[in-house]
Amino acid sequence: MPPATSPYAQRWKALGVLALSLFVVTVGNTILNVGLPTIRNELGASSSQLQWIVDGYLLVFAGLLLTAGSLGDRFGRRRALVTGLLVFAAGSALAALSGSSSELIASRALMGLGAAGIMPTTLSILTNIFPAQERAKAIAAWAAVSGLGIAAGPISGGWLLEHFSWNSMFLVNLPIVAIALAGVALVVPDSRDPAKPRLDLAGVAFSITGLGAIVWGLIEAPERGWGDPAIVGAFALGIAVLTAFVAWERHTAHPMLDVRVFRNLRFSAASLSVTFVFFSLMGVLFFLTSYMQAVLGYTPLGTGVRVLPVAFGLVAASKLSVKLVQRVGTKLVVAGGLVTVASALSMYTGFGVDTGYPSVALALLGMGAGMGLAMAPATEAIMGALPKAKAGVGSAMNDVVREVGGTLGVAVLGSFLSSGFSSAMDGSVAGLSPEQAHAASDSVGAAHEVASHLDATAASTLIDASNQAFVDAMATTATIAAAVALIGALIAVAFLPSRARSTGLAAGAALPAVG
């Protein structure tokens, strides 16, 4: 790497390659949601298998993020990026060739392994090739691409399903990865921790076990129940192991993550802000797709297209956030973004069974704008609080709080939505068989499926009742999500510094050994 006084000449071209690498990961995750009904029919997948086709990727991805970031710092970030892209491509190819649900679950887990190598590496390389005065703008572009991937997944998935088989949702990753690999070879420089510390094998084991247990518990809790012994045990194990991880990292001579950085309010408060952003966003997107497809009657492709205002708002606000931070500081911009998210979420409480799309689009635009305002400055604060030598672990930490926040949002808000819908349907399923009543009380989509086997009058009554029950449950869930976003805003106001402060862990400094 050139010295800090001579910025890397091809850094903006490299940013394009890093953005493309990030894009394939985010699209590769969200594209699958619209294809699950087709995969269920083609592979005969059960509900549990469908869940793990999605969650197998997430579990491996979230569990290995810190480890992947640490390995990139130690052995070279470009090598980690190339390895991650190759593994992701291999997983995509095997997923497209899968002939059973079990094979697809295993292939998706392999894709999660590749994604764990890609996502933190893109941000850590970015941090090392851009000088401080340009880093905020580059991170804003990185954050915007991340949001674009979330919105582009359902659109591309819906289009591919209308024209090709479900396998195409995985095959489409291969040419994108090929282009990214060529770009990495041409314009992305290598970087690593110059100290070349020994591998923290105990820290690796603690982080994988602790994060894996927590994420598994969050995934399974809505299905098993939050009081289920297995769920309680998973959370207890995760907390105990992560506590041991912190204790070990404080005393080992070569820590994977120097936990002293959490004393830096810029790092810890920004991490919490990112968690709250993704808690609200992913939790709301979880029920929004059901609302638009089952209640409002849009097709999967039509739903994906109509989610685009999230991306528009995010891209515009991410760019604006750089100028706003220069004027008023990180604190007010991040807090303002979370307040904007909360305001947009409050709009969902007024949605009904016949709400017009303009109202939905306005709420989506507000969510995207709030996310863009909060995420880009918070991410820059996280990366700016760590030395460049530890950029891989810092990036991984940013990704961990994103994934845990999003998973927690889906689990918690999904549980509230499910219980509210089931309770509201009690009186409407009284005349059905036990099997039909159980299915109709499970979800609005299942209620519509049950209605298709009833006579016209009974079907219309059940559909109307399920739509209204879902809208009522959605209003309660959106209220909770808005409250969480407001709590995040209060945390940002109370603890997030407006400007970076000079500390012993300043960006660009070397971390002293601990112990």
pLDDT of 499 higher than 80: no
- The pLDDT score that the predictor gives to residue 213 is 87
More confident residue, 488 or 397: 488
Dihedral sign (CA 187, 374, 394, 215): negative
Q: Quick one: which H or E segment has residue 52?
A: helix 47-75
- The candidate with the shortest Cα–Cα distance to 88, out of 21, 165, 138, 139, is 21
Listed range (17-31, 141-155, 160-174, 500-514) with the worst mean pLDDT: 500-514
More confident residue, 386 or 413: 413
Categorize the per-residue pLDDT at 77 as very low, low, confident or very high, splitting at 50, 70 and 90: confident
Q: List C-alpha distances in Å: 441 to 65, 98, 354.
A: 37, 32, 21
pLDDT in tens, 325-368: 888 888 899 999 999 999 999 998 889 888 889 999 999 999 88
| Torsion, Cα of 409, 314, 64, 276 (10° steps) | -30
pLDDT of 509 higher than 50: no
118 token code pair: 């890609």
- The candidate with the shortest Cα–Cα distance to 20, out of 166, 188, 189, is 188
pLDDT of 193 higher than 90: no
Give the number of other CB atoms < 10 A from CB of residue 264.
Answer: 22
- The pLDDT score that the predictor gives to residue 510 is 39
- The pLDDT score that the predictor gives to residue 388 is 66
**Phi and psi at residue 23, in whole multiples of 5°?**
-60, -40
With a pLDDT cut of 90, the percent of the chain lying above it is 19
Categorize the per-residue pLDDT at 48 as very low, low, confident or very high, splitting at 50, 70 and 90: low
pLDDT of 429 higher than 60: yes
pLDDT of 504 higher than 70: no
CA angle 291, 295, 301 (to 5 degrees): 65
Mean pLDDT across the chain, nearest whole number? 82
Categorize the per-residue pLDDT at 47 as very low, low, confident or very high, splitting at 50, 70 and 90: low
CA distance 212 to 95: 22
CB 33 within 8 A of CB 156: no
- The pLDDT score that the predictor gives to residue 114 is 93
Categorize the per-residue pLDDT at 236 as very low, low, confident or very high, splitting at 50, 70 and 90: very high
CB 256 within 8 A of CB 511: no
| Separation of CA 282 from chain center | 7
CB 38 within 8 A of CB 299: no
Mean pLDDT to the nearest integer, 218-244? 87
pLDDT of 501 higher than 60: no
- The pLDDT score that the predictor gives to residue 111 is 94
Mean pLDDT to the nearest integer, 200-212? 84
Mean pLDDT to the nearest integer, 397-415? 77
- The pLDDT score that the predictor gives to residue 2 is 47
Categorize the per-residue pLDDT at 3 as very low, low, confident or very high, splitting at 50, 70 and 90: very low
pLDDT of 282 higher than 80: no
CA distance 457 to 478: 32
pLDDT in tens, 138-158: 888 887 887 777 777 878 888
CA distance 302 to 280: 23
- The pLDDT score that the predictor gives to residue 142 is 82
CA distance 268 to 495: 9
Listed range (160-164, 281-285, 500-504) with the worst mean pLDDT: 500-504
pLDDT of 264 higher than 50: yes
